[in-house]
Structure 1
Amino acid sequence: MAKLDDLKGKVVWITGASSGLGKALAQECALQGAQVVLTARRFEELENVRVGLLNPDQHVSIPADITDEGQVRHAYEKVLECKSRIDWLVNNAGLSQRALIADTTMQTERAIMEVDYFSQVFLTKTVLPAFLKQKSGRIVFVSSVAGLLGTQYRASYSAAKAAIHMWANSLRAEVADDGVNVSVIFPGFVKTNVSINALNGEGKAQGYDNEATANGLEADEFAQMTVKALLKGEEYIVVGGRKEVLGTWVSRLSPSMLYKMIRKAQVK
Structure 2
Amino acid sequence: MAKQGSLDNKVVWITGASSGLGKALAQECALQGAQVILTARRIDELESVRQSLVHPARHICLTADITDEAQVRHAYAQVLEQKGRIDWLINNAGLSQRALIADTSMQTERAIMEVDYFSQVFLTKTVLPTFLKQKSGRIAFVSSVAGLLGTQYRASYSAAKAAIHMWANSLRAEVANEGVGVSVIFPGFVKTNVSFNALNGEGKAQGHQDEAIENGLEPEAFAKIVVTALLKDEEYIVVGGKKEQLGVWVSRLSPRLLYKMIRKAKVK
Q: Which category of TM-score, normalised to the shorter sequence, fits these structures?
A: over 0.9
Q: How far, CA to CA, are the matches of 1:243 and 1:5 in structure 2?
A: 31
2:32 is aligned to 32
Q: Secondary structure at the match of 1:13?
A: strand
Structure 1 residue 70 corresponds to structure 2 residue 70:
yes
1:261 is aligned to 261
2:59 is aligned to 59
1:125 is aligned to 125
Q: Secondary structure at the match of 2:29?
A: helix
Where do residues 177-192 of structure 1 align in structure 2 (5 Å cutoff)? 177-192=177-192
1:247 is aligned to 247
Segments of structure 2 that go 5 or more residues without pairing to the other structure are: none
Q: How far, CA to CA, are the matches of 2:63 and 2:71 in structure 1?
A: 9
2:226 is aligned to 226
Q: How far, CA to CA, are the matches of 1:234 and 1:216 in structure 2?
A: 23
Q: How far, CA to CA, are the matches of 1:37 and 1:5 in structure 2?
A: 20
1:108 is aligned to 108
1:140 is aligned to 140
Q: Secondary structure at the match of 1:37?
A: strand
1:85 is aligned with what amino acid? R
Q: How far, CA to CA, are the matches of 1:245 and 1:118 in structure 2?
A: 28
1:169 is aligned to 169
Q: How far, CA to CA, are the matches of 2:5 and 2:198 in structure 1?
A: 36
Q: Secondary structure at the match of 2:25?
A: helix
RMSD, aligned CA: 0.7
Q: Secondary structure at the match of 2:89?
A: strand
Q: How far, CA to CA, are the matches of 2:49 and 2:81 in structure 1?
A: 21
Structure 1 residue 18 corresponds to structure 2 residue 18:
yes
Q: How far, CA to CA, are the matches of 1:16 and 1:5 in structure 2?
A: 25
TM-score, normalised to structure 2's length? Answer: 0.99
Q: How far, CA to CA, are the matches of 1:128 and 1:70 in structure 2?
A: 17
Q: CA deviation at 1:5?
A: 1.7
Q: Secondary structure at the match of 2:63?
A: coil
1:86 is aligned to 86
Q: How far, CA to CA, are the matches of 1:28 and 1:11 in structure 2?
A: 13
1:217 is aligned to 217
1:98 is aligned to 98
Q: 1:23 to 1:148 in 2, by over 3 A?
A: same
Q: CA deviation at 1:44?
A: 1.1
Deviation string, structure 1 residues 52-98 (Cα, Å, up to 9, x no partner): 10000000000000000000000000111111100000000000000
Q: How far, CA to CA, are the matches of 1:74 and 1:11 in structure 2?
A: 18
Q: CA deviation at 1:140?
A: 0.3
Q: CA deviation at 1:4?
A: 3.7
Q: Secondary structure at the match of 2:199?
A: coil
TM-score, normalised to structure 1's length? Answer: 0.99
Q: Secondary structure at the match of 2:203?
A: coil
Q: Secondary structure at the match of 2:47?
A: helix
2:160 is aligned with what amino acid? A
Q: How far, CA to CA, are the matches of 2:72 and 2:210 in structure 1?
A: 32
Q: How far, CA to CA, are the matches of 1:188 and 1:229 in structure 2?
A: 16
Structure 1 residue 156 corresponds to structure 2 residue 156:
yes
Q: Secondary structure at the match of 1:176?
A: helix
Q: How far, CA to CA, are the matches of 1:134 and 1:82 in structure 2?
A: 17
Q: Secondary structure at the match of 1:177?
A: helix
Q: Secondary structure at the match of 1:12?
A: strand
